[in-house]
Structure 1
Amino acid sequence: MSDKFEKATGRDITGWMEFMREHGNPHELSHQELVKLASRGGASDWWSQGIAVEIERMIGRRQVGQTVTGSINASVTKTVPGEWTDVFEEFVAFMESRQLADAPRITATEKWRYWRADLADGSQVSVDVSDAKGKTRLSAKIDKLPTMEDRDRVKEEWRALLTEFSVTVT
């Protein structure tokens, strides 16, 4: 049976672990060293990061939802109809009406719009908005969660929030 790593790189995650062991002890390699090794093994930059993360999970260095620094995060996405720059403006107004953050930071590039804020519990949220082939993709990433137990609750809260927003999109 093929896994996502094999489909994308030609080598399944067990094969990547064997490759890592042939070139060093994965327990002793830093995240960046694992990334560089995966890259040398033929993985793209994006897949090299994913391989390194999965290897770290396999050796017990991190859990799902945990960053290389040990911080805990959660993410959810939602695709909605509409032109992405218009949807972003609607999202900003929607979030203002919810008063979840005192001073959100709004930035833009040619291909992305960002809504970022520090939340009362010390966590940080970044909502990235982009074109999804005629629709709009909203991706919320919540960093610096207080505990791993908060992760599922926060994911559900943001999933519900994005779903609530999706029914308001005109």
Structure 2
Amino acid sequence: MTDKFTTGTGRDIEEWMEYLRSHDKGAEDLHKLTHQQMAVLAVDGGASEWWAQGIAVEIERIIGRRQVGQTVTGSVNAGASKTVPGEWREVFEKFATFMAEGGEEVLPVELDGEPSTSATEKWRYWRATFADGSSATLDCSDAPTGDRRKTRLSMKHDKIPAMDQRDSVKAHWKHVLASFADSL
């Protein structure tokens, strides 16, 4: 069975681990490599920068350095995404209104201040900081498919206080994005 790493890079994760071991100037222990060193070696081995990050994360999971949902710094995060119909700038404005009008039901934790929005030429962002020290960012961008306009919404919740809260935060944001999609 072909895994995502083989499909995306031509090597499975075991082959990547062996490659990193053999190209670390003689060091056999992957624990001695930082996340960044693993990613650089993966790029040197032919992986794109995007795949190199995934390779480094997966190896860190295998060697016990991090769990699913844990960043390289040890903090816990969760994410959810949804693709919806519509022109992305208009969808973003509707999302910001949906969040503002949704009250506490759309938030997983009490806010610490007001949410903010920002924009670039190709992206829109909604950000919130919560009383528990965590924060959430929604990225909104164009996701065209043929003649139909679609928008990609991706929520990332960072610095979740404990790993045992991750699944409920992830489920919360999936529900919020599904409810928003239903409102369109």
Q: TM-score range by the shorter chain?
A: over 0.9
The C-alpha deviation readout for 1:95-150, integer Å capped at 9, x for no partner, is 11124444112111111100011012221000001111111111000000010110
Kindly provide the amino acid, as one letter, of the partner of residue 122 in structure 1.
G
Which residues of 2 match residues 80-91 of structure 1 at below 5 A? 80-91=84-95
Number of residue pairs the alignment of both structures matches: 169
Tell me the TM-score normalized by structure 2. 0.89
Query: Does residue 101 of structure 2 align to residue 97 of structure 1?
Result: yes
- Residue 14 of structure 1 is matched in structure 2 by 14
Q: Distance in 1 between matches of 2:157 and 2:38?
A: 25
Kindly provide the amino acid, as one letter, of the partner of residue 4 in structure 2.
K
Secondary structure of the residue aligned to 1:120 is coil
Q: Percent identity?
A: 59
Query: Does residue 85 of structure 2 align to residue 70 of structure 1?
Result: no
Tell me the TM-score normalized by structure 1. 0.96
Structure 1 residue runs of 4 or more that deviate by more than 6 Å after TM superposition: none
- Residue 39 of structure 1 is matched in structure 2 by 43
Which residues of 2 match residues 98-137 of structure 1 at below 5 A? 98-99=102-103, 100=107, 101=111, 102-133=113-144, 134-137=149-152
Q: Distance in 2 between matches of 1:115 and 1:41?
A: 37
- Residue 57 of structure 1 is matched in structure 2 by 61
Q: Distance in 2 between matches of 1:162 and 1:110?
A: 23
Secondary structure of the residue aligned to 2:160 is coil
Query: Does residue 173 of structure 2 align to residue 158 of structure 1?
Result: yes
The C-alpha deviation readout for 1:34-81, integer Å capped at 9, x for no partner, is 011111111111111110000100100000000000000000001111
Secondary structure of the residue aligned to 1:142 is strand
What residue ranges of structure 2 are gaps of 5+ in the alignment?
none
Q: Distance in 1 between matches of 2:183 and 2:164?
A: 31
2:159 aligned to which of 137, 140, 144: 144
Q: Distance in 2 between matches of 1:48 and 1:159?
A: 27
- Report how far residue 90 of structure 1 moved: 0.4
- Report how far residue 20 of structure 1 moved: 1.2
Kindly provide the amino acid, as one letter, of the partner of residue 14 in structure 1.
E
Secondary structure of the residue aligned to 2:32 is coil
Provide the alpha-carbon RMSD of the alignment: 1.0
